C-alpha cells in the first residue's frame, strides 16, 4: 500500500486513455472514474468472474457506491469458455434490465477473459459505451492496451470482436497477491515478450529481476507492468487497426495458439504456450542468420521466469501444423511469422516455409529428452 | 436500363466511400468491387433474404464469379426477426467455414434488415472486414449511409451493434421494380424525412413528384435516392458517432418506434410508423410556435405519398408513453424530442413534457374520426 502510483497515457488521439498502476487503487476507484469523466447519473455494470468476485467485488462495489455511483454486478464463470456468445448475450440482457444507457460504463474486474468479454459487451451495447479495465492478472497488462475485445466462436478463438478502447485502466497491483503462481508466470511471459520484440534493456531487466517478479515484489511489478504497457502502447499508437507493425506483438503466438488448441485448452496456459512459441521463434531466428546466442539467451530468460521452453514428446506435429493453417495470421494464404533477429528486435517474415517450422517443432521435442 | 448512373461520396476521411446509384448496376458489380479495391484472392460472402434471393441472387453471384471472385451465399429468412444474435451466429459460422479472412468482403443484397445484419457480421468478424451494401429497397437508402449496423435483442431493437462503414454502396434501382407497393411507400417516408429535417426544396420536390415516385419512375427514383443519401451523408459527416446533430435524423422515430412496438411489429411498417411520428412532431412544432401551416403541409405531403398520418383509435396511449420511456433516445433521464420549426428545419428539444406528447397522441386519434 506504500508503493507509489504511476500513470501512463496510451496515445490514440481523441481515444487516448490513462493507465494508472499502483497499490491500493481499488480504494480510490470512484475518484479515478470521475477524473476521466464517467457520469454518476447512469448505472455502471461491473463484470467479474467467480474466482475474483469473492476477493475484490465487494470492495470495488462499495467504493463506487460510496463515491456516488449506482452499480450493478454480473459474475460469470471463470475460464476461457466464458468468452462465448451465450455469456455475452446474458450480459447484454442484464445490462438492458439494469437500465444501462449510452452514458453508462462497463467495468471489467478480472483477467483477460473478463476484460475481453466485458469489453466486447461495452463495444457493442448501443453501438458502444464507456469501458473501464480493472485488471487483476499480470497477463491483463497485455489485454489492457490495444483495444482488442472479443469472444470466441466454437470454431475459432477471438473470432468475434471489435476494437474498443477503454476510457481508463486501473491496475491495482495489490490484487495480484492472490493470483495462483502458474498464472503469475504465464503473465510474465507476455511481459518479457514486450522486451523481446522491442527493448533489449527491458528484456534484460526482466531476466535480472525474475526472482522479484515471481515473488510479486510490488515495486518490480509496477515497473514491469508499466514498461510492458508502455511498449505495447507505443506499437499500438503507431498502428491502431493492426495493419502491419502491430503484428510483431504476435511473437510466439502462431505456434502458441496451435499448442493451446492441440493440447486442449487448459493444459497449457496461454502464457506458457507462447513461451514455447517464443523459444521456437528464437531458434528459427538464429538459424535464419540472427544474432549468435539468440536462442540460448531466450531460453535462459524464459526459464528464469519458470516458463516452459520445450514441447511434450507426445504432441502431434501434424496437428500443430494444421492448427497453424487455420490461424487467422495466415493472410491471403501466405504465412506470416514473427522471427527475432536479436534480443529486442524482430522481423515480420512472409516467406517462412512450413517445413522449417515442422523441423523446429521436432527439435523442441528432442530438447526435452536432453534437458 | 437506359437510365444514367450517378455517384456520390460519403465524406468520412479515410472511411469515405462511394454510393453508386443507377439502373442495371448488378451487371457490373465485379467492376465496381475492383474499383474500391476488393481483392479476389479471398472469398466473398453474399447475405440475402429468401424474398430477394430468388429474384437477384443468381444474377449477382454469376456476375461476381465471371468477374473473377469466389463467392459463397447465405440466405436468411425475410423479416425483422432475422436481425437476431441467433441468425448472426449462424452467419459467422458459415463465414468461418467458407474460409473468409481479413481480406474478404461481405455483401448485403436486400433491404435494411439484411444490411444491418450482414453489416454487423462484417463489423465484428475478425474485428471487422470489408462490407458492401447492395440495397434493394427504398428504405435502404437510409441504412446505406451512416455506418450503423445492428441486430435486435428480445428486449430492445438495434440494441447490439457497432459503427462500421461500407466500402461501397451499389444501388441498382432496377431491383426496386419488384418491391411490394407498401414497402415502396414506407421507403419514401424516410426519403421525405430527409427533406423535412434539412432541405425545404427537396421536401417540396418529393411532394410534387409523389406520383412518379410511387410509380417507380427510374429518373425520379435516382434523383430522390441520391438527394436522400446526400442529405444523410452531410449530417453523418459532421457527426459520425452520433453525438448531437445526427439526432435530427430521428424525426418521427421516438413515437414511431413506440407505435411499432405497441402495435406489434408488422402491423405498421417502420416507414409508416415514422410517418405518423412525423405528423405528430409537426403538430407539436406548430404548437410550440413553429411556422403556420407546418402541420397541415406535412400531412398533405405524407398523404401524397400514401402514408398514414393518424393513429388507430384502439391504440393504447399509456402503452405508447411507456414504450417511449424505454427508448434509448431518453438520455440520462431527459426527454430528447426532434421538433420541426418549419418545413426543412428541426430543433432538438430537451424540454418536451410527457403531457404534451400524450395530448398530441390523443389528437392524432381524433383526427382519424374526422378524416
Ligand atoms: N485483448 C487483448 O489484446 C488480449 C491480449 C492477451 C490476452 N487476451 C486474452 O486474455 C485471456 C487470458 O487472460 P488471463 O490470463 O488474465 O486469464 P483469466 O482472466 O482467465 O485469469 C486467469 C485465472 O486467474 C483468476 N484470477 C484472476 N485474477 C485473480 C486474482 N487477482 N486472484 C486470484 N485469481 C485470479 C481467474 O479467475 C482465472 O481463473 C485470454 O482469453 C486471451 O485471449 C487478450
Ligand atoms: N442502419 C440504419 O441506419 C438503418 C436506418 C433505417 C432503417 N434500418 C433498418 O432497416 C430495416 C428495415 O429495412 P427495409 O424496410 O428495407 O426492410 P427489409 O429488409 O425487411 O425489406 C422489406 C421487405 O421487402 C422485401 N424485399 C426487399 N427488397 C425487395 C425487392 N427488390 N423486391 C421484392 N421484395 C423485396 C424483403 O424481403 C422484406 O420482406 C429495419 O430493421 C431498420 O431497423 C437501419
Ligand atoms: Zn498473448
Ligand atoms: Zn427510420
Nearest-ligand number for the alpha carbon of A112: 1
Contact between chains at A162 and B330 (C-beta distance less than 8 A): no
Given a cut of 70, the residues of chain B with pLDDT beneath it are 1-3, 240-243, 265, 327-334, 366-371
**C-alpha span between A94 and A81 (Å, rounded):** 19
Pairing of strands B345-349, A44-49: unpaired
Q: How many angstroms away from the CA of A329 is the closest CA of chain B? A: 9
Contact between chains at B128 and A155 (C-beta distance less than 8 A): no
Q: B6-178 with B190-370: one CATH topology? A: no
Select from A39, A85, A96 the Cβ nearest to the Cβ of B85.
A85
Q: Is residue A211 exposed (0-12), middle (13-18) or buried (19+ Cβ within 10 Å)?
A: exposed
Most distant pair of Cα atoms in chain A: their distance: 63
Select from B41, B148, B156 the Cβ nearest to the Cβ of A127.
B148
For ligand 1, whether the C-beta of A146 sits within 6 Å is yes
Tell me what pLDDT residue A354 has: 85
In terms of CA atoms, which chain B residue is nearest residue A161?
B127
Q: Which of B113, B115, B119, B121 to mutate to test the pocket of ligand 2 (most atoms within 8 A of CB)?
A: B113
For ligand 2, whether the C-beta of B170 sits within 6 Å is no
Tell me what pLDDT residue B246 has: 87
- What b/e string do you get for A342-357 counting C-beta neighbours within 10 Å, with b at 16 or more? bbbbbeebeebeeebb
For ligand 2, whether the C-beta of B137 sits within 6 Å is yes
Tell me what pLDDT residue B208 has: 98
Tell me what pLDDT residue A231 has: 96
Tell me what pLDDT residue A246 has: 87
Tell me what pLDDT residue B1 has: 47
- Chain B positions with Cβ closer than 8 Å to A: 39, 41-42, 85, 89, 92-93, 96-97, 101-103, 123-128, 148, 150, 153-156, 159-163, 242, 328, 330-333
For ligand 1, whether the C-beta of A224 sits within 6 Å is no
For ligand 1, whether the C-beta of A161 sits within 6 Å is no
Q: How many angstroms away from the CA of A287 is the closest CA of chain B? A: 30
CATH for the A190-370 domain, from 3.60.15.10, 1.10.260.40, 1.20.1090.10, 3.90.1580.10: 1.20.1090.10
**C-alpha span between A23 and A1 (Å, rounded):** 5
Q: In this predicted complex, what is the ipTM?
A: 0.90
Pairing of strands A17-22, A6-10: antiparallel
The pLDDT profile of chain A, 371 residues, written as one tens digit per residue, is 446 899 999 998 889 999 999 999 999 999 999 999 999 999 999 999 999 999 999 999 999 999 999 999 999 999 999 999 999 999 999 999 999 999 999 999 999 999 999 999 999 999 999 999 999 999 999 999 999 999 999 988 899 999 999 999 999 999 999 999 999 999 999 999 999 999 999 999 999 999 999 999 999 999 999 999 999 999 998 877 666 788 899 999 999 999 998 998 678 999 999 999 999 999 999 999 999 999 999 999 999 999 999 999 999 999 999 888 776 555 544 577 899 999 999 999 988 888 899 999 999 996 545 44
Q: Does domain B6-178 have CATH number 3.40.50.2300?
A: no
Give me the residue spans of the domains in chain A: 6-178, 190-370
Q: How many angstroms away from the CA of A163 is the closest CA of chain B? A: 6
Q: How far is the CA of A141 from the centre of ligand 1 (A)?
A: 10
Residues 6+ apart with CB under 8 A from A206: A188, A191, A192, A195, A213, A224, A301, A305
Ligand 2: nearest atom to the Cα of B145: 3
Q: How many angstroms away from the CA of B312 is the closest CA of chain A? A: 30
Tell me what pLDDT residue A330 has: 53
Cell digits of residue A2? 506504500
Q: What is the 3-state secondary structure (H, E, C) of chain B?
A: CCCCCEEEEECECECCEEEEEECCHHHHHHHHHHHCCCCCCCCEEEEEECCCHHHHHHHHHHHHHHCCCCEEEEEECCCHHHCCHHHHHHHHHHHHHCCCCCCCEEEEEECHHHHHHHHHHHHHECCCCEEEEEECCCCHHHHCCCCEEEEEECCEEEEEEEECCCCEEEEEHHHHHHCCHHHHHHHHHHHHHHHHHHCHHHHHHHHHCHHHHHCCCHHHHHHHHHHHHHHHHHHHHHCCCCCCHHHHHHCCHHHHHHHHHHHCECCECHHHHHHHHHHHHHHHHHHCCCCCCHHHHHHHHHHHCCCCCCCCCCCCHHHHHHHHHHCCCCECCECCEEEEEECCEEEEECCCCHHHHHHHHHHHHHHHHHC
Can you give the pTM of this predicted structure? 0.93
For ligand 1, whether the C-beta of A272 sits within 6 Å is no
Test mutation, B127, B242, B326, chain A, max A CBs within 10 A: B127
**C-alpha span between B93 and B254 (Å, rounded):** 35
Amino acid at each position: 500500500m506504500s508503493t507509489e502510483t504511476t500513470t501512463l497515457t496510451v496515445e490514440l488521439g481523441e481515444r487516448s486513455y490513462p493507465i494508472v498502476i499502483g497499490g491500493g487503487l481499488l480504494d480510490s476507484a470512484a475518484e479515478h472514474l470521475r477524473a476521466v469523466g464517467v457520469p454518476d447519473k447512469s448505472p455502471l455494470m461491473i463484470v467479474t468472474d467467480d474466482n475474483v468476485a469473492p476477493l475484490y467485488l465487494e470492495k470495488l462495489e462499495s467504493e463506487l457506491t460510496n463515491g456516488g455511483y449506482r452499480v450493478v454486478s454480473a459474475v460469470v464463470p471463470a475460464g476461457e469458455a466464458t468468452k462465448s456468445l451465450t455469456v455475452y448475450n446474458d450480459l447484454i440482457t442484464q445490462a438492458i434490465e439494469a437500465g444501462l444507457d449510452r452514458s453508462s460504463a462497463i467495468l471489467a474486474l478480472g483477467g483477460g477473459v473478463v476484460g475481453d468479454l466485458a469489453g466486447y459487451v461495452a463495444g457493442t451495447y448501443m453501438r458502444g459505451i464507456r469501458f473501464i479495465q480493472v485488471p487483476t492478472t499480470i497477463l491483463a497488462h497485455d489485454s489492457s492496451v490495444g483495444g482488442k475485445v472479443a469472444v470466441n466462436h466454437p470454431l475459432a478463438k477471438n473470432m468475434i470482436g471489435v476494437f474498443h478502447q477503454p476510457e481508463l485502466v486501473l491496475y491495482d497491483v495489490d490484487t495480484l497477491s492472490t493470483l495462483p503462481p502458474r498464472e503469475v508466470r504465464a503473465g510474465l511471459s507476455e511481459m518479457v515478450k514486450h522486451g523481446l520484440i522491442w527493448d533489449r534493456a527491458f528484456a534484460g531487466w526482466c531476466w535480472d529481476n525474475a526472482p522479484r517478479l515471481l515473488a510479486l515484489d510490488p515495486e518490480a511489478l509496477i515497473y514491469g507492468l508499466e514498461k510492458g504497457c508502455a511498449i505495447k502502447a507505443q506499437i499500438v499508437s503507431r498502428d491502431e487497426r493492426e495493419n502491419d507493425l502491430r503484428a510483431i506483438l504476435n511473437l510466439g503466438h502462431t505456434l502458441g495458439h496451435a499448442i493451446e488448441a492441440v493440447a486442449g485448452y487448459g493444459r497449457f496456459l496461454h502464457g506458457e504456450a507462447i513461451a514455447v512459441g517464443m523459444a521456437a521463434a528464437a531458434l528459427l531466428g538464429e538459424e535464419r542468420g540472427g544474432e549468435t546466442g539468440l536462442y540460448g539467451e531466450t531460453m535462459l530468460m524464459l526459464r528464469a521466469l519458470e516458463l516452459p521452453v520445450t514441447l511434450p514428446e507426445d504432441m502431434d506435429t501434424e496437428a500443430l501444423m494444421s492448427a497453424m493453417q487455420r490461424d487467422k495470421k495466415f493472410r491471403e494464404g501466405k504465412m506470416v511469422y514473427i522471427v527475432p533477429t536479436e534480443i529486442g528486435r524482430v522481423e515480420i517474415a512472409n516467406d517462412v516455409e512450413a517445413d522449417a517450422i515442422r523441423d523446429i517443432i521436432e527439435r523442441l521435442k528432442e530438447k526435452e529428452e536432453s534437458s
